[in-house]
A and B are shown apart, each in its own frame.
Chain A
Amino acid sequence: MNPYGSVDGHRTLGNPGVGQAPPTITHSFQPLQPVGSPTRLPDVVQPPMPPTPSFRPPQPQVVQQGPPVGLYPGTQGPQPSYPSPVSGPPFPGYGQNAPQAMAPQQYPPQQQPLYGSYPTDAPVQASTINPMQPQQPRQGYWGDVNQLSQGMAGMSVNQGFNAGWGVAPIDLLQNRHIIPPNPVIEPPKITLQNEYWSSVNCESDIFRCTMTKIPETSGLLQKCRLPLGILIHPFKDLPRLPVVQCNTIVRCRACRTYINPFVHFIDKRRWKCNLCFRSNDVPDEFLFDPKSSTYGDPGRRPELQSATIEFIAPSEYMLRPPQPAAYVFLLDVSWNAVQSGYLKIVCDTLLAHLPDRLPGDSRTLVSFIAFNSALHFFALSPECSRPKLMTVKDVDDVFLPTPDTLLVNLAEIGSCVEDLLTQLPMMFNEPDAGNALGAALQAAHKLLGPIGGRVTVFQTQLPDVGPGALKSREDPNQRAGKDVHNLNPATDFYKKLALDCSAQQICVDLWLLSGQYADLATLSGISKFSGGCIHYIPGFHVTRFPLSGEKLEAELGRYLSRKIGFEAVMRVRCTRGLAVHTFHGNFFVRSTDLLSLPNVNPDAGFGMQVVIEEALTGVQNACFQAAVLYTSSKGERRIRVHTLCLPVSGSLPQLLHSVDQEAVVGLLAKMAVDRTVTASLTDAREAFVNMVVDMLSAFRAAEGGGGMGLTSAPNARLIPVYVLALMKSVAFRVGTSTKLDDRVFSMCQMKASFTSLPLADLILMVYPCLYPVHNMSDEDAIVESDGEIIPQPPRLPLTYERIDSGGVYLMDSGDKLTFYVCRAINPAWILAVFNVHHFSHIQDGAIDLPELDTRESKRVRSFLGHLQAQKFMPATLVVMREDSKDRMDFVHRLVEDKSDCGSSYYEFLQMLKGLVK
């Protein structure tokens, strides 16, 4: 029985370009010598010339400043001396990016495999100088040109060519340990025809496309069998962000695109929009350079020097005066909640953050509402020193007892809030099991309605009283079943309320700290459609699971102090011909390209599937621009604009080599969540397999179908292992007992990763990093400026094969660091790190390591610190002994092994090989 289900139906995750494509595709391979080149200069014997980035034509129409553009041969490095201006015969595959792409039919069809043939002909080619050819940009065909030239140096021309250029197809069956030892997998570089553009392009952790080259037609995209989409992290905390304040923000008059570094200047007074190609006037103000305070060249403007920029918006970008920061905290005080002891942690963390570390200004408003089967409001006012408790028992028809003293200015009430927060944990002791979440949300909606702001809900159980009451739908016996039900909401109460909130700029963030089933599938609607985030700590109990308390404190600390943008909208524009098809994330889609985000936080990530509606023929670059208009916590209206520019390509092999594997996996996960919810889990799992099979088949077809193995583009080599890991992840696994809430939460995370660096963390969640920490040495260690040495152990593939019975391993799965100690570990090591003499004395489930003054302990702790420093949301550490009862949690993460939720990586590859045609 095929564990992935039948593939006969051949379902895929819906390649967005289906059914719109002209079936013909243009293989615009360049022959190695131009056909009928009219004249040929006498051959000059020269070594093959690597296409260095400095070799480019002048671009007279682009007025650019900054890094030198258009360097000529001889100005950089050892270059063969060329007559200037130089023109050479085209390199393979450059033509698509030529300003006026020569008609592909001009060339005969490709005779030989592209990658094999180049070196032998190269000397001829490089020495053939054809003055009749127009000067063309030579684009780094194989990605990183610097790497290429290094690769070429000292290499025999015919040998190792492919390897040096990083284009050799990889046989997956031969390379089983595919995970590189370096934990950071560099995203592929985007190479534009203009080096300056490549250098200013949007950073890959803000804006990323699943392909670093955009296919010219949708037929070509279909041939690639890759999902086309963008992943964006628009509000990421940035160390350096240019902020511009000006009277008029320069935008295209037709499509309202913000001016960006990738526009063409026709002359000093006019620019051509790179999205709709309309020519616009440059206003006088734009000629002013704020740095040097002089008028003149527009190329010095920060708008043209950075693909990520923030504008301080003038008044026409406001529908109403900017709102103050407003925060409402809804606290579950039902008996279950009081028992779990979360209130103390939340109140203490709030106390530590409230006066200064909560983003806001002197206008900041706060309110607290507690709820069990009734609502408890706290009237806060500067006059009375003690907070007044008002209880509303009627939850079916919610009203606010004293509207003006509930939402109060934080600066004016002073110590009153502190009193409240110190008393709150002890205030509710009666055993009241009810939970009227729906009513509490309605009250918060009423309270914030006129202003907008953020509602933070702490919920510990299924709401069972008043509006929005739910019933348990989970059948524990079905947890390991093949098909999973009840992934859809049970009622649309929360969704409708979320839409009302969204219309009034209220965002609801849900913290679910539950021991039992709380129907996250339904409750998550409140955050999903109001732009909020969802945090879920299963089995929360302060005394029984100290780890959960630790986790709450760490996450809440980050949550309260991180930046926040109020009343936000995000618009995504793309070059004419491209269109956004589906959005993934937490928001409400208000129109075809506009997302309504009542709040935007730095940890929110979004995904968008893109379709090619019209062929991009004659277009060199495709651009995406995302603009977030928001009100900062200081009451300033701002616009953050990110622009990503990608080359357009008409060649199938080029496109197949331009995959960004991590982005593909990120987008696939989001598409699969949609598929699971609308169709079924079985469908989604089938679609995963089909996608990989299609991709590998497309690659094999494009490469000429040779060989017995399972070949993949080097850039896509990790996709199979990631997809296998995805199918074994909590969201998509079958066969193992999985709680419904855990599954739904995992899906929510994939759909809209709330954690920082959405993509990187999503990948970590799916395929954790495993490091051996028992034999760390100072080799390859990073030495910090303060002299601290951080060892860098190599990353291991996730298989039990690599777990040594005498080792200690650290598994970094994004939000959790698991410290796995094997039984046969050297006692000296235990003593040095844990300060105990025997394996059995190590405390299982401990949440930190003792600070010891030994070399081993220092190394382990500095490495842990190093991992933690890279995360925005601190991860929780847990020590796990080999004989621990939670051991299966660790074993399940070893996704390359065969387990009850799926086959091993090798079996998976064998199965793929059977399916690839």
Chain B
Amino acid sequence: MVFSLPAFSYMIALIVDAFLIFFAIFHIIAFDELKTDYKNPIDQCNSLNPLVLPEYLMHMAFNLLLLISGEWVTVLINAPLIAYHVLRYKNRPMMSSPGLYDPTSIMNADTLSKCQREGWIKLGFYVFSFFFYLYG
């Protein structure tokens, strides 16, 4: 196989996806800690918030690469997640720093379980796409 642009973009996607899996795991652990009272919500939000934008941007970056190399199917698979990310960031609470999580509302049981569910779904999706890129 020739070293083509699609092959290169899949390689990049694979590497970035591995990082995203780590982000998702970190996210799940962080919310579990909050739920079991190990961490203060202020500290936890301070450690989570700086990671939100990099995650979103990394995901969008390799999708852009895939789009350039004409991998429509892969981009279509990722499109819902990109849309979700954009929407989620648009509706974030009023904050002066980047990030999504607000320490005053994060302890609400609804928010907490929503974030946890989000983490698990994302982890599943990233693991699925990891194998998809590997063999795709």
Query: Of residues 559 to 599 in A, which have CB atoms within 8 Å of B's CB atoms?
Result: 579-583, 588-592, 594
Which residues from A are CB-within-8-Å of B110? Answer: 14, 581-582
Q: Cβ of A579: which chain B residues have Cβ within 8 Å of it?
A: 109
- B contacts, CB < 8 Å to A: 34-35, 37, 40-42, 93-96, 102-104, 107-110
Distance from A519 Cβ to chain B, minimum over Cβ atoms (Å): 13
Closest to A503 in B: B42
Smallest beta-carbon distance B92→chain A, Å? 11
Residues of A within 8 A of B93 (CB): 488, 492
Nearest 6 A-B pairs (CB), nearest first? A589-B107, A591-B37, A581-B109, A492-B95, A489-B94, A492-B94
Residues of A within 8 A of B94 (CB): 488-492
A493 within 8 A of partner (CB): yes
> Chain A residues near B34 (CB, 8 Å)?
591
A592 touches B37 (CB 8 A): yes
Alpha-carbon distance between A583 and B109 when the two chains are bound, in angstroms: 9
Establish whether residues A589 and B42, one from each chain, have CB atoms under 8 Å apart when the complex forms.
no
- Chain A residues contacting B41 (CB-CB under 8 Å) are 589-591
The residue in B37, B93, B104 that gathers the most chain A C-beta atoms within 10 A of its C-beta is B104
Partner of A499, one of B35, B96, B104: B104
Which B residue sits closest to A613, measured CB to CB? Answer: B109
* 11 contacting pairs across A/B (C-beta < 8 A): A492-B94, A495-B104, A579-B109, A581-B110, A583-B108, A588-B103, A590-B40, A592-B35, A592-B37, A592-B107, A594-B37
Having A499-B104, A592-B37, one finds 16 other A-B pairs with CB under 8 Å, namely A14-B110, A492-B93, A492-B94, A492-B96, A492-B102, A495-B104, A496-B96, A529-B104, A579-B109, A580-B109, A589-B107, A590-B40, A591-B40, A591-B41, A592-B35, A592-B107
Chain A 842-856 interface mask (CB, 8 Å, partner B; 1/0): 000000000000000
Assess whether A582 is in contact with B108, with CB atoms less than 8 Å apart.
yes
Residue from B37, B40, B109 whose CB has the most chain A CB atoms within 10 Å: B109
Interchain nearest-CB distance for B114 vs A (Å) = 12
- The distance in angstroms between the C-alpha atoms of A491 and B96, with both chains bound, is 7
Instruction: Mark contacts of A229-244 with chain B using CB atoms, 8 A cut-off: 1 yes-contact digit, 0 otherwise.
Output: 0000000000000000
**Least distance between A590 CB and chain B CB atoms (Å):** 6
How long is the Cα–Cα vector from A493 to B109 in the complex, in angstroms? 25
B5 → chain A closest CB, angstroms: 43
Chain A contacts of B102 at CB under 8 A? 492
Q: Closest Cβ of chain A: how far from B14's Cβ, in Å?
A: 36
A611 adjacent to B104 (CB under 8 Å): no
Instruction: Report Cα–Cα, A529/B107, bound state, in Å.
Output: 13
Which of chain B's residues have a CB closer than 8 A to the CB of A503?
42
| Proximity string of chain A (1-17) to chain B, C-beta cutoff 8 Å, 1 when within and 0 when not | 00000000000001010
Bound form: Cα–Cα A492–B105 in Å: 13
Name the distance in Å between B76's Cβ and chain A's nearest Cβ: 31
A229 to chain B, nearest CB (A): 12
Closest beta carbon of chain B to A627's beta carbon, Å = 16
Instruction: Given A488-B94, A489-B94, A592-B37, answer yes or no on A499-B109 (Cβ-Cβ < 8 Å).
Output: no
CB distance from B41 to the nearest CB of A (A): 7
Tell me the bound Cα distance from A879 to B120 in angstroms: 62
Rounded to whole angstroms, the CA-CA distance of A496 and B103 in the bound complex is 9
Complex-state Cα separation, A489 to B104, whole angstroms: 13
> Closest approach, in angstroms, between the C-beta of B4 and any C-beta of chain A?
48
Q: Could you give, for residues 301-324 of chain A, a 1 whenever the CB lies within 8 Å of some chain B CB and a 0 otherwise?
A: 000000000000000000000000
How many residues on the A side are at the interface (Cβ–Cβ under 8 A)? 25
Given A14-B110, A581-B109, A590-B40; A499-B103 close (CB under 8 Å): yes
CB contacts (< 8 Å) of A488 on chain B: these are 93-94
Do the beta carbons of A493 and B96 come within 8 Å of each other?
yes
How far does the Cβ of B122 sit from chain A's closest Cβ, in whole Å?
A: 21
Question: Contact at A582–B109, with CB atoms within 8 Å?
Answer: yes
**Count of A-B residue pairs with CB < 8 Å:** 51
Residues of B close to A588: CB separation below 8 A: 103-104
Within the complex, the shortest CB–CB distance from A254 to chain B, in Å, comes to 15
Q: In the complex, A76 Cα to B96 Cα: how many Å?
A: 69
Complexed CA–CA distance, A492 and B42 (Å): 14
Identity of the chain B residue whose Cβ is nearest the Cβ of A496 in the assembled complex: B96
Q: Mark A493-511, 1 if CB is under 8 A from B, else 0.
A: 1011001000100000000
Nearest-neighbour CB distance to chain B for A17, whole angstroms, equals 11
CA distance A579 to B110 in the complex (A): 12
Chain B residues within 8 Å of A594, by CB: 37
B104 and A589 contact, CB distance less than 8 A: yes
Q: In this complex, which of B35, B96, B107 has the most chain A Cβ atoms within 10 angstroms of its Cβ?
A: B107
The answer for the CA separation of A655 and B73 in the assembled complex, in Å, is 55
Determine the distance from Cα of A589 to Cα of B112 in the docked complex, in whole angstroms.
Answer: 13
Give Cα A493–Cα B95 distance, bound, in whole angstroms.
Answer: 8
Cβ contacts under 8 Å, A589 to chain B: 41, 104, 107-108
CB distance from A591 to the nearest CB of B (A): 4
In the complex the two chains form, what is the Cα distance from A89 to B103 in whole Å?
55
Are B107 and A499 within 8 A (Cβ)? no
* Contacts known (A490-B94, A589-B104, A592-B107); A499 close to B37, Cβ less than 8 A: no
Q: Which of A335-377 contact B (CB under 8 A)?
A: none
When chains A and B are docked, how far (Å) is the Cα of A321 from the Cα of B104? 28
CA distance A491 to B104 in the complex (A): 14
Identify the closest chain A residue to B91 (Cβ): A678
CA distance A490 to B94 in the complex (A): 7
A499–B43 CA distance with the chains assembled, in angstroms:
11
Q: Which residues of A contact B37 (CB under 8 A)?
A: 591-592, 594
Within the complex, what minimum Cβ distance (angstroms) separates A531 from chain B?
A: 12
Q: A16: which B residues are within 8 A, CB to CB?
A: 109
- For B40, the closest partner residue in chain A by CB is A590
Instruction: List residues of chain A with CB within 8 A of the CB of B104.
Output: 495, 499, 529, 588-589
In the complex, which residue of chain B has the Cβ closest to the Cβ of A591?
Answer: B37
> Least Cβ distance of A568 to chain B in Å?
17
Given the complex of chains A and B, what is the CA–CA distance between A16 and B112 in angstroms? 14
Q: Please name all residues of chain A whose beta carbon is closer than 8 Å to the beta carbon of B35 when the two chains form the complex.
A: 592
Closest residue on chain A to residue B108 by CB atoms: A582
- 0 or 1 for each of A480-494: is its CB under 8 Å from B? (1 = yes): 000000001111110
Give chain A nearest CB distance to B52 CB in angstroms. Answer: 16
A490 CA to B96 CA, complexed, in Å? 10
| Cα separation A14 to B111 with both chains bound (whole Å) | 13
Minimum Cβ distance to chain A for residue B7 (Å) = 45
- The interface residues of chain B lying within 8 Å CB-to-CB of A583 are 107-108
Residues of chain B within 8 A (CB-CB) of A580 are 109
Contact with B along A584-621 (1 / 0, CB 8 A): 00001111101000000000000000010000000000
Contact at A499–B42, with CB atoms within 8 Å?
Answer: yes
**Contact of A611 (CB < 8 Å), options: B42, B103, B109:** B109
| Docked pose: A489 CA to B102 CA in angstroms | 13
A422 to chain B, nearest CB (A): 41
Residues from chain B with a CB closer than 8 A to the CB of A582 are 108-110
Closest to B103 in A: A499
Which residues of the partner chain B approach A499 to less than 8 Å between Cβ atoms? 42, 103-104
A591 CB contacts on chain B under 8 angstroms: 34, 37, 40-41, 107
The complex places the Cα of A492 from the Cα of B104 at a distance, in Å, of 11
CA distance A219 to B108 in the complex (A): 22
A591 to B110, CA, bound (A): 14
Give, as a whole number of angstroms, the nearest-CB distance from A256 to chain B: 12
| A493 surroundings in chain B (CB, below 8 A) | 96
Contact with B along A44-71 (1 / 0, CB 8 A): 0000000000000000000000000000
CA distance A442 to B46 in the complex (A): 21
* A residues 632-676 in Cβ contact with B at 8 Å: none
Rounded to whole Å, the gap between the CB of A695 and the closest CB of chain B is 22
A199 to B88, alpha carbons, bound, how many Å? 52
In the assembled complex, how far is the CB of residue B82 from the closest CB belonging to chain A, in whole angstroms?
A: 24
Bound-complex Cα distance A762 to B122 (A): 44
Give every chain A residue within 8 A of B103 (Cβ-Cβ). 499, 588
A398 to chain B, nearest CB (A): 18
Give min CB distance, A480 to chain B, whole Å.
26
Q: How far is the CA of A490 from the CA of B95 in the complex (A)?
A: 9
* In the complex, residue of chain B having the shortest beta-carbon distance to the beta carbon of A589: B107
Chain A residues with CB below 8 A from B109, complex form: 16, 579-582, 592, 611
